[in-house]
Structures are given as structure tokens and as C-alpha cells.
Amino acid sequence: MRTPSPPPPPPPPQQQQQQNQNHHQQQNHQQQNHQQPKKRINSLRLKETEHVEFIRKSSRDTETIEYALTEHLRLSGMYWGLTAAALLRRTNEITSKDEVVQFINECYDEKSSLFAGAPGHDGHVLYTLSAIQIFVLYDCLREELSVQRAKKMCEAIAKLQNKEDGSFAGDEWGEVDTRFSYCAFSALSLLTHGMGEECFLDWNLESLELQRGEKEENTVKIYNGRALEIMRKIVDIDKGCEFIMNCRNFDGGFGSTPGGESHAGQIFVCVGALQICNQLDLLYAGEEDNEDNDKLAWWLAERQVKVGGLNGRPEKLPDVCYSWWVLSSLAALKKKHWIDLDKLKTFILRCQDDINGGISDRPDDEPDVYHTFFGIAGLSLMKHEGLEEIDPIYALPVTSVRKIGIESDWY
């Protein structure tokens, strides 16, 4: 299962080899793009106003084919757009809070006690997380989510866990994926932190004496611990983390299910889930693993290709969204500096549409809200001037998670 640990930085030879291969792919791609008319002038300055306008327009342009095709993930789209705007400190320019809350409530599916991607669709743990994230973003979880609904959601999430192997399904149809383990743990963590003690009192938790948002040193840690204790009453955290560890590969990465190929997106969800459950130590539990000799961080650092962008797995093209999936995972491992951050920043800024706003996967492609969010989130992780800082585990502004008492040392 385990291979010998790689040497410490600078880049290992296989990175060079892989970068060369990626370079060829990029050259081909760039050659194709040469034939298309250039529709923007890129100044390498973050186009804040244009991005806000792009997000605002994307949520209003209901007649476009893109809008129709993305209906099933409308709630996640709303989370991407609003969180990007919050990082730009301009949420109010997108839409009103009342309109947002009304839409979220329309997405609630009474049958599953979960939120759906759009009104009338089936509930799913991914959209449940998006709904909770938006409530946290607006600091209105307690006002807008009834205690009864919050408890039903906790029970519905618990039902998605397989008690034998600890995995989570996304919904009643049963597809299993480490993405859903992350969604379940993140949703429960935000709920248990944000709802307050009275929500959980009749679950024999009287002795926990929860208080919201304590700021003093140490008390916050205790608060985090108490929220985790509540989570333990709802789901089997240890088995959940055991399943995640069963999805680990010989290269240090993680896949969607045991034996699945390592992929940066899956690594984000696995590292995040372990971190939320306070079990990140499991990464270093093997004989050869320790924090200084970290195969996983190596795999992640090797995702940077010559043009500065990151790919999601070996021999693939770079894509702005991996600025988030890779860099947030490295942030959790406290190894962001294993990437050339200046080159990554330049790559993201080159993917902006300077005229109409929005960020695309690669330079000169069409922008969309997904890449706009993950590009801005990546820049925020690199502490880009003028942006709110983002929490690499919960994918929400640090100011928002602090308001519900989540204080961490991974920024």
C-alpha cells in the first residue's frame, strides 16, 4: 500500500516530467485558442466591479440556455455567487437577503427533510449544505431555520450514513461518494455550531451548556469540542473517518470510493471531513508518514504546471477551480508555500474576462459563476488585497464562520 516517502522540496523529477507533458497539452490548447478572436484585454488586476456585475447578471438572465441547463444545481449556484460577492465585500449588490431566504425555503423538500437543488426537486445532502452555508453567510441560521426543521435535517443526514462502513449516500437513491461524507460533516458542524444549545437539549445534551460565538482564547476550542460532541450523537464520526481513510491511495491522495483514482476535488473533501471531525492526525498514522514527510502534500504541490495554474490530477490541463481544491487542501496541511503562489495568482487573473467580468477555467474560455467563485476563493486563500479571507475547510468567509463560534488555526 505504501511507497517510500519522496524527498523534501524543491520539485521532484516526476513533476518536471509531468509539467513537460502538461506543457504540450497547454500549447495545443493555446494554439487552438489563437484561432479565436481575442475578446478581452487582460490587465492582471482583479476586476472586482465587473465580477460583481457578472454574478448579478448571471442570476437574472433566466432566458439563457446556461440558466436552463443548470436548474438542478440552482442552490449551489446561489452559494457560489453569493460567497464570491461576499469575498468581494459586495453581497448587497447581487440581490436582497429576503429574496435569497425565500428561494432557499422554496427548495426545502418535506419528503426527505433535506434541501433540493431547485424548487420541486428531491432533497440531497449537497444542496442541504449549500442552504446552510448561505444562512451562515447571512448570519441568519437561527432566525431562518426552525429548531424542528434543523433536527429533522440532522436525522435525515444520519439516515444517509451506512452504519457498516461509515460511508454517506447523497440522497435516498444511495450513490456513495466521499463528497457526501464532507457535505454531511460540514452541514452538521455548521448546524451544531450555529443553532445553539436549545436546539439539541432534548437529545440528552443538557450538560454541554453551549454558548454562541465565544471569542476568548481556549473557550472557543472548548466550544468547537462541544459541537463535535453533539455531532457524535447524530452520526458515527469515527466510522465516517474510517471510510474516508479507506479511500486513501498509495500516492497519498484520495478517491471518491475505496480504490478510486486520486483527484484534487476528492482530496479537498476528504481532508476537510477529517479536519471537521478533528481527525486530521489519521493522515500521519502510517509508519512512514509524518507532517514533514507528507506524500499527500507532495501530490498536491505537483499539480502546478508550467503556466502557473493547477490541474486536478496528473497529465491533465490546468483549471482555475483547482486553485481552490488544491490550495485549500494545502492550507489545511499548512503547506500553501509548496506552490508558487505568484504564478498561480497570475494564472487566475489571466482567466478573467476584463470587459464583461467573470472568470473561466483557462485563459480565453467563457466565464461562468462556478469558476468565478473558485478563482476569487483561490485569490482569497492567497490573501489577495481587498478580499475577505476565506476558511479553507468550510469554504465561507472567515468572518462568517467566526460568528457561529468556529475558530481555527489553519489560516
Q: Between 112 and 323, whose beta carbon lies closer to ligand GRG?
A: 323
Stretch in the footprint of ligand GRG (CB under 6 A) among 151-159, 176-184, 201-209, 227-235: 176-184
Per the CB < 8 A criterion, the answer to whether 78 and 130 are in contact is yes
Exposed, middle or buried, 28 (CB in 10 Å: 0-12/13-18/19+)? exposed
Name which position in 269, 276, 376, 390 contacts ligand GRG (CB under 6 A): 269
Fill in the per-residue mask, 106 to 135: x = in contact with ligand GRG (CB under 6 A), - = not in contact: --------------------x---------
CA–CA gap between residue 93 and residue 85 (Å, rounded): 8
C-alpha dihedral sign at 308, 313, 317, 320: negative
Stretch in the footprint of ligand GRG (CB under 6 A) among 211-219, 230-238, 311-319, 338-346: 311-319
CA–CA gap between residue 155 and residue 187 (Å, rounded): 12
Q: What is the closest distance, in whole angstroms, from the C-beta atom of residue 183 to ligand GRG in the complex?
A: 6
Q: What is the closest distance, in whole angstroms, from the C-beta atom of residue 320 to ligand GRG in the complex?
A: 10
Name which position in 75, 136, 154, 183 contacts ligand GRG (CB under 6 A): 183
Name which position in 321, 332, 359, 406 contacts ligand GRG (CB under 6 A): 321
Name which position in 123, 265, 358, 375 contacts ligand GRG (CB under 6 A): 265
* Cα dihedral 13→271→371→408 (10° resolution): -120
326 binds ligand GRG (CB under 6 A): no
Site for ligand GRG in 38-97 (CB under 6 A): none
Fill in the per-residue mask, 225 to 264: x = in contact with ligand GRG (CB under 6 A), - = not in contact: ----------------------------------------
Per the CB < 8 A criterion, the answer to whether 330 and 297 are in contact is yes
Count of positions on this chain that bind ligand GRG (CB under 6 A): 15
- Beta strands (DSSP E) in 187-307 are none
CA–CA gap between residue 369 and residue 112 (Å, rounded): 28
Stretch in the footprint of ligand GRG (CB under 6 A) among 31-39, 228-236, 319-327, 385-393: 319-327
182 binds ligand GRG (CB under 6 A): yes
Closest CA to 167 of 231, 82, 254, 258: 258
Stretch in the footprint of ligand GRG (CB under 6 A) among 5-13, 224-232, 317-325, 337-345: 317-325
* Cα dihedral 79→85→89→95 (10° resolution): -90
Exposed, middle or buried, 3 (CB in 10 Å: 0-12/13-18/19+)? exposed
Per the CB < 8 A criterion, the answer to whether 168 and 160 are in contact is yes
Q: Between 131 and 208, whose beta carbon lies closer to ligand GRG?
A: 131
CB-CB neighbours of 86 under 10 Å: 24
Q: Between 124 and 350, whose beta carbon lies closer to ligand GRG?
A: 124
312 binds ligand GRG (CB under 6 A): yes
| Alpha helices per DSSP H over 335-408 | 341-350, 369-381, 398-403
319 binds ligand GRG (CB under 6 A): yes
325 binds ligand GRG (CB under 6 A): yes
Q: What is the closest distance, in whole angstroms, from the C-beta atom of residue 69 to ligand GRG in the complex?
A: 16
Exposed, middle or buried, 37 (CB in 10 Å: 0-12/13-18/19+)? exposed
Q: What is the closest distance, in whole angstroms, from the C-beta atom of residue 247 to ligand GRG in the complex?
A: 12
Rule CB under 6 A: which residues touch ligand GRG? Answer: 126, 179, 182-183, 265-266, 268-269, 312-313, 316, 319, 321, 325, 395
